[in-house]
Structure 1
Amino acid sequence: MNEQVKLPKGICAYLDRLLMEHPGFRAQYPFVAVGVLREKRSEPSTDELQNELAAYVNLKGDNQWKLIDALRYGYEAEPEPRWGIKAGNCYMIDICLWRFANVTPELVIDCEADFDEKYEADEVVNKLGFGEVVDLNKVGKADD
């Protein structure tokens, strides 16, 4: 059984709109659809979502296959990055007191010790003088 493909939120929004206008793209013509999307990169557009999709398709060859699979099997938005600070095996669990503990990335999010923007976490690391900024969504998956 094939699983839904995870795509960036903006790409999902454009595909939703595209599929409303051209429902046949989903199952009947995924290869043609991706070819059309690749062609759109050369067309000047004021549509930010179209431009984002054209850039995504042309970023890597793998992205074209991801889009084909998304049109065939369905898609969902990737989770937004949740930035945390890691030092050794420990994560920051208190932003105000800068406390660290040996906890899971999920607990960091539950303690609301994560950052929505990477630059905010980078500033704390610079003030501390140690640690690294990590995407808590990816770190949790890599540790499993």
Structure 2
Amino acid sequence: MNEKVKLPKFMCDWLDQHKEEFCGCPMTDVSKLSRERDTVGDVRAWLFRDTTNQWKLIDALRYGYEAEPEPRWGIKAGNCYMTNPENYGFDDVTPETAVYWAIKSYADYIVKTLGFGEVVDLNKEGKADD
């Protein structure tokens, strides 16, 4: 049995708003989306930037979908994570309780300013290797 496809949150939101317009044939639905005038902005860019995304959408329409986790970029130094960006405080905490940024370049800037540490994906920190 196939699992639900993970899509960006904005795609899930858009699909939820347009579910009643789909005919149930994924290839036809994706073709229809390419001709729709309201398929604009992030949705259009995501859908047509890479043909892999079109296949991903077809699978999402076939097997269901769920939102990808939102990005959570943290700063790690040794075994500690940043917990207070105002005073650059670090503590021995779990990735779930560390402070995070949704935009990686913001965390990169702080690491550059500090001169130490590394930017890590808190969604993957502490998970077993696949």
- What stretches of structure 2 of length at least 5 have no aligned partner? none
Within 5 Å, give how 1:1-144 maps onto structure 2: 1-22=1-22, 24-25=23-24, 29-37=25-33, 39-40=34-35, 47-55=40-48, 58-61=49-52, 63-108=53-98, 113-141=99-127
Q: Distance in 1 between matches of 2:37 and 2:26?
A: 23
Does the CA contact (< 8 Å) of 1:106 and 1:140 recur in 2?
no
The runs of 4+ residues in structure 1 deviating greater than 6 Å are 43-46
- Report the CA distance shift for 1:142/1:51 in structure 2 as closer, same or farther (over 3 A): farther
Deviation of 1:31 after TM superposition, in Å, equals 2.4
TM-score (norm 1): 0.69
Preserved contact between residue 91 and residue 103 of structure 1 (Cα < 8 Å): yes
Q: Answer 1 or 2: which has greater helix percent.
A: 1
Across the aligned residues of Structure 1 and Structure 2, the Cα RMSD in angstroms comes to 2.9
Q: CA deviation at 1:130?
A: 1.5
Tell me the percent identity.
55
| Superposition deviation, residue 143 in structure 1 | 5.2
Aligned residues: 130
Shift of 1:17: 2.9
